[in-house]
A and B are shown apart, each in its own frame.
Chain A
Amino acid sequence: MFGACLIPFGQLLYNGYQGDLGVNPIETITRFTGSWALIILYVSLCITPLRRLTGWTDLIKFRRMLGLFAFFYALLHFSTFLVLDHFFDFDRIAKDILKRPYVTVGFTGFVLMIPLAVTSTAKMIRRLGKRWQQLHRLVYLVGIAGVIHFYWLVKSDIRRPVQYGAVLAVLLGYRLVKYLLPSGVPRLFQRGTSLKTTAE
């Protein structure tokens, strides 16, 4: 999984080294890192439903790594904006963040990821206890911010942001259903012999 998450980064480095990032390399890097941040974030949001639907509890081991990789690509994305796109023109960057809703919401999503990344260590999980889970529900907001960011920046072809939004809607919808239904979402495959739905 670790290696798989590094493939896009490797591809970016390889194509960059080959001088093969297209006519507008900064735009290419921006779009590439932004898309992969979202994709990996959504994969990380698949873990809990998949674990529950399949009963394959070991999946949880990948969740933190996926979350951190989503942060890694978001950090690359933000750094591209900061360094390559605006080259530390902080005046303009500040204006963009304040005045441009798509930048505001994207930046908000990125900032919300920081506490999640910082508290991802085993020590912090232990120290925060129940509050850790509450804090990490922020990831839902991050996912929503990411889609809105994408949707607001396209000129007229909304297909891809809508696709991302649909995936996110399923992932968040699952959690909503689970929250609303007291008995929870039934499992497809049960570990053990009981076929009864177990309540969470």
Chain B
Amino acid sequence: MLIKKPNDIKSSEITPPELYLNRRQFIKSASATTLSAGAALAGFDLFQPAPQAYALAKLPDVKKSSYSTTEKQNSLKDITSYNNFYELGVDKGDPARNAKYLTTRPWTVAIEGEVKKPKTYDIDDIMKLAPLEERIYRLRCVEAWSMVIPWIGFPLSALINQVEPTGNAKFIQFVTLLDPKRMPGQQRSLFGNVLDWPYVEGLRMDEAMHPLTILSVGLYSEVLPSQNGAPVRLVVPWKYGFKSIKSIVKVRFVEKQPATAWSLQTPSEYGFYSNVNPEVDHPRWSQATERRIGEFLRRKTLMFNGYGDQVASLYKGMDLRKLY
């Protein structure tokens, strides 16, 4: 049922989205009206149709990187139709369905705080800030599933070096767009908000400068789809996915450890560091294993999501049970 593919075939060469969408459309019209009626009445929408695909611009001149894993990559369909991006809806399929609302031009990213050269970048300048690289990373969600994703981007350190942090810059806070029109998940609901908007995340300066930490602007040789956090998002592969904040509009250099969205929501369950750690369970579920999307058997979760050789030294002497 999942589209398997070797690494050397581009996603665009297999499973043309139109074909696949037409098939889904056909199945939907044939079955959904009758079969889903009960499910719809019950407010239950697991089998909604796939989102409309739209052409995304190609990103040329993308370099390979030695930081990439050689593991089998998840398909573009996996990566773009199963997303946690609450600004576009709380179900995994919602972000793809609501992606059309999140327009990404015009878009600016403001750099503020403890820097010598504060600046508001236009997104098109961000795209050209440094040579684009393909980084094929494992992504481990805090919900105990994982994927392998070929991101395109550049090290966050390239941006940091340009704006010249002052000696007071110890942490960086990132802020997602706040715009309920373009992010329907931010519209108030009867039950209040699932998170405090805008979404905020943060890194310690040494984490932010680490060569594995990237700003991503693309995926599978194309610009980033909206549901994956377009036009620019963070990717920190040794931390749980929610640390990799999407659709960034502000980068603030600060002295004190900044607030982060999930630890604001439930401090007892989500900490600032949120490093992937099979030995520290989520209070409500185990983190020892994970399901790689597309695989049947669970696999063991690796310390720092398998990036321990590169990042373990950042946390020397820290009690990772306390600083989860």
Contacts and interface: CB of A to CB of B under 8 A. Distances in A.
A157 B134 CA distance: 34
Contacts of A155: 143
Contact of A159 (B189, B288, B296): B189
Contacts of B182: none
B82 A20 contact: no
B200 to A, nearest CB: 15
A31 B189 CA distance: 23
Interface string B75-98: 001100110001000101100000
Given A22-B92, A100-B284, A39 B42 contact: yes
A32 interface: yes
B293 interface: yes
A31 B93 CA distance: 14
Chain B contact residues, majority secondary structure: loop
B31 interface: yes
Please tell me the size bucket of the interface on A: 35 or more
Contacts, number: 89
Nearest to B81: A23
A102 interface: yes
Interface string A144-179: 000000001101111110110000000000000000
A92 B286 contact: yes
Contact of A162 (B90, B92, B191): B191
Contact of A24 (B36, B191, B195, B291): B291
A35 B1 contact: no
A4 interface: yes
Contacts of A121: none
Contacts of B317: none
Interface residues of B, number: 40
A24 B92 contact: yes
25 contacts: A4-B38, A8-B38, A11-B31, A14-B31, A20-B24, A20-B47, A21-B1, A22-B81, A22-B92, A23-B77, A24-B92, A26-B291, A31-B46, A35-B42, A35-B44, A86-B298, A99-B286, A100-B285, A101-B284, A152-B284, A153-B284, A155-B143, A156-B266, A159-B189, A159-B191
Interface of A: 4, 7-8, 10-11, 14-15, 18-28, 31-32, 35-36, 39, 84-87, 89, 92, 95-96, 99-102, 152-153, 155-160, 162-163
Given A20-B1, A20-B27, A92-B289, 4 more contacts: A23-B77, A23-B78, A35-B44, A36-B42
